[in-house]
Homo-oligomer: A and B are copies of this chain.
Amino acid sequence: MPKVVDPQARRAAVAEAVWRLILSRGLEGVSVRTVAKEAGLSTGALRHYFAGQSDVLTFAMQLVIDRVRARVQALEPQPDAGAAVLRAVEELLPLDAERRAEAEVWLAFTVRAQTDPALRALRDTSYELLQDLCHRLVEALRQDEPGTDPDLRVEGERLYALIDGLVVHCVIRPDRATPSLMRDVIARHLSELTRSGWR
């Protein structure tokens, strides 16, 4: 009789193992061999998930997307749009060890996709997901209904670029782009967006 395996439970176990390895050893420490050991599976069983290092990276990136999406969807209602937008932006910034690990995976994956076409589709999904979220956040800050205001499009891109710039700075120089500095920059940006009235 074949062994009964719950594919969802196994995928969750693999995902947790990958994430523990990223946190403890960085992305470089994640390979078919180390994940098999961490998850208590044979390397053969892992071939279902990873044929090679590109697949490991893709799995890690999908995990990051799932984590960010779940956190943003689970956000509690806030008393006003400004507070709600701030909470959502905080989920995208590397303000703690977990989110910093996510940022490291994102940056490594994004740059690897420049020379590995197999990674492009997921890279583009991630780009568009966050771009769309930033545009919706800017629309939420706007008092009246969203429209085709060209300024709104520019503001969405400005927020998106600002967030990704902070993420890159924190990944490469966490001693300079500290959580406190990132919070100050975002607070200033959001307060300005609210105050400016979209002139």
Interface residues of A (CB under 8 A from B): 28, 104, 107-108, 110-111, 113-115, 123-124, 127, 131, 151, 154-155, 157-158, 160-166, 168-169, 171-173, 176-177, 181, 184-185, 188-189, 192, 196
Partner of A165, one of B162, B171, B173, B181: B162
Beta-carbon contact of B173 and A157 below 8 Å: no
Across-interface contacts of A164 in B (CB, < 8 A): 164-165, 168-169
Inter-subunit contact B108/A111 (CB<8 Å): yes
Shortest distance between the CB of A170 and any CB in chain B (Å) = 9
Count this chain's copies in the assembly: 2
The distance in angstroms between the C-alpha atoms of A114 and B168, with both chains bound, is: 11
Contact B111 A155 (CB under 8 A): no
Given known A-B contacts A111-B107, A111-B108, A173-B127, A165 and B154 have beta carbons under 8 A apart: no
Closest chain B residue to A115 by CB distance? B28
Main secondary structure of the interface of A (DSSP, over half): helix
Contact status A131-B196, CB under 8 Å: no
For A192, list chain B residues within 8 Å (CB).
192, 196
Q: Which residues of B contact A171 (CB under 8 A)?
A: 114
Nearest 6 Cβ contacts at the A-B interface: A165-B165, A161-B165, A164-B165, A111-B111, A161-B166, A154-B184
Partner of A114, one of B110, B155, B172: B172
Q: Which residues of B contact A158 (CB under 8 A)?
A: 162, 185, 188-189
* Extra pairs beyond A157-B184, A168-B168 (4, CB < 8 Å): A107-B111, A124-B173, A162-B162, A164-B165
List the B side residues contacting A166 at CB < 8 Å.
Answer: 161, 165
Closest B residue to A124 by CB, please name it: B173
Contacts of A104 in B (CB 8 A): 114
Residues from chain B with a CB closer than 8 A to the CB of A176 are 127, 131
